[in-house]
Amino acid sequence: MMEIAASYPELFQKWKTRQLSEEAIKEELIQFGVEEFHIPEIMHHYKKKCCEDRQTTGFVLTGIGSFLGFISCLFTMLDLVPELRNFMLYGLTSIGLIVLFIGLYLVFEE
């Protein structure tokens, strides 16, 4: 059990890249010789890690979407390139909102 405890982050990353189900993860832990009463705790930490990764991605996307919206507003008000006014006003704002709402979905999804 001690050699597995030191490599939890490595195990979590392997499980995530291989997209294993809970049953497959439990079977793998049993093969490693982990005691039965430790498995729910390990699964809880794995689920928590996955949720934290998803929320981190969501916050990054929310920041990018907000920045695109701000840039769109700024460029529209300054009207630096009049030929691109409609793209800045409608296109960049729409892209920013889509990225923002995807990020919010990832943050608040359970």
pLDDT digits 0-9 by tens, 85-108: 999 999 999 999 999 999 999 999
Residue 35 pLDDT grade (very low, low, confident, very high; cuts 50, 70, 90): confident
44-69: per-residue pLDDT in tens? 888 888 899 999 999 999 999 999 99
Residues 17-43, mean pLDDT to the nearest whole number: 84
Q: Residue 98 has what pLDDT?
A: 97
3-state SS string for 35-103: CHHHHHHHHHHHHHHHHHHHHHHHHHHHHHHHHHHHHHHHHHHHCCCHHHHHHHHHHHHHHHHHHHHHH
Name residues whose C-beta falls within 8 Å of residue 6's C-beta, 6 or more positions apart in sequence: none
Query: Could you tell me which residues come within 8 angstroms of residue 102 by beta carbon, excluding any fewer than 6 positions away?
Result: 58, 61, 65
Looking at per-residue pLDDT, the higher value among 76 and 110 belongs to 76
